[in-house]
Amino acid sequence: MAQALRDAAQRLAGVSDTPRLDAELLLAHALGVERQVLLLDPARYAVPDMFDALIERRRAHEPLAYIVGYRDFWTIRLRVGPGVLIPRPDSETLIEAAVQHFGESGPRRVLDLGTGPGTLLLAALAEWPAATGLGVDASEAALALARANAEVLDLTERTAFRTGDWADGVDGPFDLILCNPPYIADSEALMPDVADFEPAGALFAGADGLRDYRRIIPDLGRLLAPGGIAILEIGHRQRISVSQLAEAAGFAVICKRDLGGRDRALLLTCA
């Protein structure tokens, strides 16, 4: 078992920044156990035949989350799959900012624009048991996963999901609006793990990466409840440009950085 993990990590060294972790997660997945269970007593297990095939899939740059079928985010586990944007740790910055803003009382109604597999909405509702929320996405595949995730997390009664084009046809008010839109410029090169597998429509946003902010921000004022807040994820070089769009729409803007010290979330309140 130890040798199999060492060999797998070496094979993944040119593909992943975390080859040992990837190998451990893939082996745990092949065994049908959690990684921590495997690491507590690896000698009790034999290396399954399917492990080599999983390593080869990862060597071909297939995202780990697609192979194992889930991604942990904030305090919840989300099912993910091909055609759906994989939740990133950087996006937890938005939930952290919301927790700091609302405290334990929390928002009453939450809107997640571009919800994907329910990432931000379900994380927020898991944080505040009295809150309800709406998730909107243009992708039926993403919404199917979002509904499945809500069911597994026992949040179905507090959630609604609908197909939509950002905020078109959505009525407020909402105390908290969360949004992680596409923000990558069309000309920007991405790693093969992302470019070859994740949906381009959830990543790219025109020549300057601002196309969707120009559509989303003007609707936020009519959707926010008095005293409400909208929190938008941004690319780490977009603070000035997106802030200018928000300020032109009448919002006061605060920027919050992620754990890597990069600009990551803009907090918008009515000025």
Q: Going from the N-terminus, what domains does the chain have, and what CATH number goes with each?
A: 2-60 (1.10.8.10), 71-270 (3.40.50.150)
Neighbours of 224 (CB within 10 A): 22
C-alpha distances in Å from residue 11, one per residue of 5, 22, 111, 202, 258: 10, 11, 43, 30, 31
Neighbours of 113 (CB within 10 A): 28
Output the pLDDT for position 271: 75
Residue pair 227/199 in contact (Cβ under 8 Å)? The answer is no
Question: Could you tell me which of 131, 224, 233, 125 has the C-alpha nearest to residue 170?
Answer: 224
The pLDDT score that the predictor gives to residue 169 is 96
Q: Measured at the alpha carbon of residue 160, what is the angle toward residues 156 and 165, in degrees to the nearest 5?
A: 145
The count of C-alpha atoms lying within 13 angstroms of the C-alpha of 167, restricted to the half-sphere facing its C-beta, is 24
Nearest to 58 by CA among 14, 89, 28: 14
What are 229's two structure tokens? 């807040």
The mean pLDDT value of the chain amounts to 97
Give 1-21 pLDDT, tens digit per residue: 999 999 999 999 999 999 999
Measured CA to CA in angstroms, residue 269 lies from 90, 128, 217, 251 at distances of: 22, 21, 11, 5
pLDDT along the chain (271 residues), means of 10: 96 96 98 95 94 98 98 98 96 98 96 98 98 98 98 98 97 97 96 95 96 98 97 97 98 97 97 75
**What sign does the CA torsion over 58, 63, 68, 72 have?**
positive
pLDDT, position 41: 92
- Chain segment 136-146, per-residue pLDDT in tens: 999 999 999 99
